[in-house]
Amino acid sequence: MFPVGTDGKDKEVMNGRLFNPLAGDGKTHNIGSTSGRFWQHPGLAYDPSQPTWITEGIINALSLIEIGHQAIAVLAAGQDPAKVDLSAFPKKILAFDPDEAGRRACRKWKTAYPDAEVILCDQGQDWNDLLQLGTPDEVRKHFTTNRSQYRTNGELALATTADQYADIFYQFHKYLPGLFAFNGCTYFSILKTARGGDAPPY
């Protein structure tokens, strides 16, 4: 359990994580309401001139801190950015989980903070999974090598149409996503050849 502040009755609010939850139990558990709250490392002095990575969960924030990044956690993908005061962190990087809830959160928080960068892990992975790939030095090297991929994942999360998604994917990978899911539907991308060159995928 991690303390994240106190409520209106001066009772401590906490956010916790079960590493091996029983069937039917969720991973995240709260004592008190975490609405409008965020967690930051109590032992670190945060530098407002440096980027601050914004994650869903505390474990992911701690994982980014371990490899040298300044990070906080907003405690849930469904957190309302209008209720959270992040004015102390002017340089924001949105780094939510690469699932549908996380992608929705990216779009919501990007609307609230248009200048924020969006960087996501690969599908099926989170920042703690990344940390477990090796020593902190090995992970930092892996992260640096793959940062453009993670940035592209962020751009894909912000895509507003299937055409745009396929085009972003193609521009980075130089091949098409083939069969892909977007906004609850499944699409198949092809490259349409036209006179004078290739048209964007759709």
Write down the domain spans for the chain.
2-158
Which are the contacts of 53, defined by CB distance < 8 A and separation ≥ 6?
A: 61, 64, 69, 70, 71, 72, 93, 95, 119
**How far apart (Å, rounded) are the C-alpha atoms in residues 171 and 121?**
18
Question: Are the C-beta atoms of residues 66 and 51 closer than 8 Å to each other?
Answer: no
In angstroms, the CA 143 to CA 13 distance is 33
Averaged pLDDT, 147-154: 97
Q: Give the pLDDT score at 77.
A: 92
* Residue range 44-58, pLDDT digits in tens: 999 999 999 999 999
The average pLDDT across 89-95 equals 97
Mean pLDDT check: name the lowest of 97-106, 134-143, 191-200. Answer: 191-200
- 200/186: higher pLDDT: 186
- CA atoms of 93 and 95, how far apart (whole Å): 6
At residue 200, the pLDDT reads 57
Q: Is residue 8 predicted with pLDDT exceeding 90?
A: no
pLDDT at position 195: 58
- Mean pLDDT score, 176-190: 91
Domain made up of 2-158: CATH architecture: 3-Layer(aba) Sandwich (3.40)
Residue 71 has pLDDT above 80, yes or no: yes
Q: Tell me the whole-structure pTM to 2 decimals.
A: 0.88
H/E stretch holding 141: helix 136-158
The edge-to-edge listing of strands for the beta sheet with 117-118 is 39-40, 70-73, 52-55, 92-94, 117-118
pLDDT above 60: residue 199: no
Mean pLDDT for the stretch of residues 97-125: 95
